[in-house]
Each structure stands twice: as C-alpha cells, then as structure tokens.
Homo-oligomer: A and B are copies of this chain.
Amino acid sequence: MKNNKDLPAEEHSGPLMADVARLAGVAISTVSRALANPGRVNEKTRAKIDAAAKQLGYTPNAMARGLRVGKSNVVMIILPGSLYYGVSQVIPLVLQGINRSLRQNGYHLMIANLDRDEASERHILDLAFGGTVRGAIILSSDLPVHGGRSLKDSALPIVSLLFDMSHAALPSVVTNDRQAVRDATTELIALGHRRFLYLAGPEGNYHDRERYLGAVEALAAAGLPETAIVRSGGSLDYQHGFQIGVDAAAEFADLILKPTVVIATSDDMAISFMSCVQRMGWKIPTDLSIVSFDGAPVCEYSLPPLSTIEQPVEEMGQMAVSLLMERIDAPDKATALRHVIESKLIRRESFGPAPSNV
C-alpha cells in the first residue's frame, strides 16, 4: 500500500547494495569494499558477494557513488557548433578515439555543443560547476562564459585539442601545421610554382595564422616576396566550408595572373573549389596544383585524388585523454603544455609540377 511517510523515487527499481549484502549474508560495507577494493576482503566472502551480485543483476548507482566520493566519472567534449560542418569529415573519428580512450580509463563521454548563445554556454557551465563532469576536452579557441561564471574559474581539468591554448595555461594537443605547410610549399616551389592562392577559414583563427605563416616562411626562404601568395575566403565560418571553395573559384577566375597552386585550409573547400574550376575548364594538376588540410578519407576518391595534409586525429584524441588523466590525477603537477603531433602530407595526383607555359 506504500503509505510511507515520504515516498520518493518509486522509479529506481533495481537491486540495491543492501539486497546483495542480505543475500550474501554480510554487511553493506563489506559489499562495498569487496566490489571496489577486492584486496580488503576475504577471498571466500568476495566470491559469495560476487555471486550474489550477479544473481541479482546488481549495478551500483553511479550518482550515489559520485555524490559520496565527490567526483564523477564523466568527461565532456566541447565542440563549437560551426566545426561540425567544417572538420565534420573527421569529427566522428575524433569522438570515437576519445571515447575509446576514456572508456579504458573508466570514464564516460558527454557532448557539449558550444553554439555562441546563452543557452548553450549556460548548459556547459552547469555541467562544469554542477559537478557532473570531471574534466573537459575543448575544440574551440574560446572558453564559455555566462552570468559571471567562466569555465576558467572552475577547478575543472581542461585540455585543448586542435588549438594551441598554452597561453591560457591549458595543455594543448596540436599538429605541426606550420611546418607541414612550409614543407609542402617548399616542395611546390621546387616544382617550379611561383604563384599561390591561399583559401582561408575563419580569419585570425589559430590554424589560419599558423598555416598561412608556414606558407609565407617557405616563400621567404626561397627568396620570393609575400605578394606571391593571394588570400581568399577568411570572412566566412568553417561551417560554410564548401561555400568558401565555390566563392574562391569565382575569385580565381577573375585573377589576371593565375596562381598555379591552391592551398586550402580544409578538404571541404578544396573539393568544392576543384569541382568549380574543373567545370570552368582548368585541368588539375596540369594547370593548377591543389593541396588541402584534414586528410578526409573522401579525398582519395576525388578526381583527381586530392593531396591533403593529414590530421592524425585518433592519435591526437588519445594524447588529449592521457593529458587529461594526468591533469585529473595530479592537478598541480607542472607538465609541458604544448604537445605537437606530426601531421604528414599525403601526396596524390592533385599535386604536380608548375605548368611550363608560365
């Protein structure tokens, strides 16, 4: 008849630790110790407890444990809304890699979408300050802020992925984009190329700066002026990756002195750019070489196959997780902040010598 004085949670029907204890004929505390810390308890007792637990299908309540021990076992990943489209080609791989690594460490993965609006920022901060998450991996160059609270103020361990945030004291996992684009550019110069078109994503963004700089450095090293490179795009968001390529193609068509190389900062823009200029009649790589960023699998099957600078996202994800684990276990230990992972150029047919008639 359920006329208890107060009757909450008629919801959770599963067996409790107390049930296991009763069935095994021991105290609750013994069950707790047996399950968490097997060494502390007699082997025979432990076996009895395990059997009872299995028989009842017992699963410990994570919230009760979390409350008691003052820590949760979930980590959140903060994805900027716009990245979804741009690097979308690789996001699933990132998530998968991170989720696997976390699981091996006993953690769960929660997703947080960082749109630039009130609701989503509040959402994220509630997660952080409400004790729901134990750490965060962020794929964005700015931290959420709302109503006087900022993610920075939380004691939450945070690791930055893809963006160098070491200036904000965040351990960061990045690729050596600059080096990679410098090498690629140098190689292209050696192939006779002298005029470059650079397709930018969001202007001033960490990746934009690094990658552009890499190209400029290579030019300088070869004694070429910075004017050898023309920038396109930059005002739009990565969200419109394909659109950037389309616009750039129109721009390309209008240029008097045609560049012979296009360096695109995402595969999406390279793909749409290539599609457009080919329709206009240019041949790749005969008239124009193209190299882009991210290493999306689809690049292998474009016509011609697209050279791309691979972002080793799985490795990066693993690294981010292991940094986060360190940070959780020893928050005060000073460690290196900037962790660089080698990104390598995958050479495919979109990449060739400069046209001879130039």
Q: When the two chains form the complex, which single residue of B10, B13, B103 contacts A120, counting CB atoms closer than 8 Å? A: B103
Q: Are B110 and A70 in contact (CB under 8 A)?
A: no
A57 to B301, CA, bound (A): 52
A112 to B44, CA, bound (A): 35
Q: A253 within 8 Å of B by Cβ?
A: no
Interface string of A298-312 (1 = CB under 8 A from B): 101111010000000
Q: Which residues of B contact A147 (CB under 8 A)?
A: 54
Q: Which residues of B contact A11 (CB under 8 A)?
A: 70-71
Q: A340 within 8 Å of B by Cβ?
A: no
Name the residue on B nearest A94 (C-beta). Answer: B92
Q: When the two chains form the complex, which single residue of B14, B88, B96 contacts A129, counting CB atoms closer than 8 Å? A: B14
Q: Which residues of B contact A132 (CB under 8 A)?
A: 62-63, 108
Say what secondary structure dominates the interface of chain A: helix
Q: Are B8 and A69 in contact (CB under 8 A)?
A: yes
A11 to B70, CA, bound (A): 6
Q: A111 within 8 Å of B by Cβ?
A: yes
A248 to chain B, nearest CB (A): 13
A12-B131, A63-B132, A113-B100 known; A57 and B302 CB under 8 Å? no
A9-B70, A74-B110 known; A92 and B84 CB under 8 Å? yes
Q: Which of A57-93 contact B (CB under 8 A)?
A: 57, 59-64, 66-72, 74, 81, 84-85, 88-89, 91-93
Q: Are B110 and A123 in contact (CB under 8 A)?
A: no
Q: Are A127 and B108 in contact (CB under 8 A)?
A: yes
A93 to chain B, nearest CB (A): 7
Name the residue on B nearest A268 (C-beta). Answer: B298
Q: A95 within 8 Å of B by Cβ?
A: yes
Segment at the interface with B among A190-198, A226-234, A271-279: A271-279
A128 to B156, CA, bound (A): 26
Q: Which residues of B contact A99 (CB under 8 A)?
A: 111-113
A212 to B242, CA, bound (A): 32
Name the residue on B nearest A272 (C-beta). Answer: B301
Q: Are B64 and A67 in contact (CB under 8 A)?
A: yes
A10 to B155, CA, bound (A): 12
Q: Are A95 and B70 in contact (CB under 8 A)?
A: no
Q: A209 within 8 Å of B by Cβ?
A: no
A8-B68, A99-B111, A300-B242 known; A59 and B14 CB under 8 Å? no
Q: A33 within 8 Å of B by Cβ?
A: no
Q: Are A111 and B109 in contact (CB under 8 A)?
A: yes
A235 to chain B, nearest CB (A): 20
Name the residue on B nearest A129 (C-beta). Answer: B59
Known: A9-B68, A57-B153. 12 other contacts (CB 8 A): A8-B69, A9-B71, A10-B70, A54-B148, A57-B149, A62-B130, A62-B132, A103-B123, A108-B111, A242-B300, A271-B298, A275-B305
Interface on A for B, CB 8 Å cutoff?
A: 8-14, 54, 57, 59-64, 66-72, 74, 81, 84-85, 88-89, 91-93, 95-96, 99-100, 103-104, 108-113, 119-120, 123, 125-127, 129-132, 147-149, 153, 155, 242, 245, 268, 271-272, 274-276, 278-279, 297-298, 300-303, 305
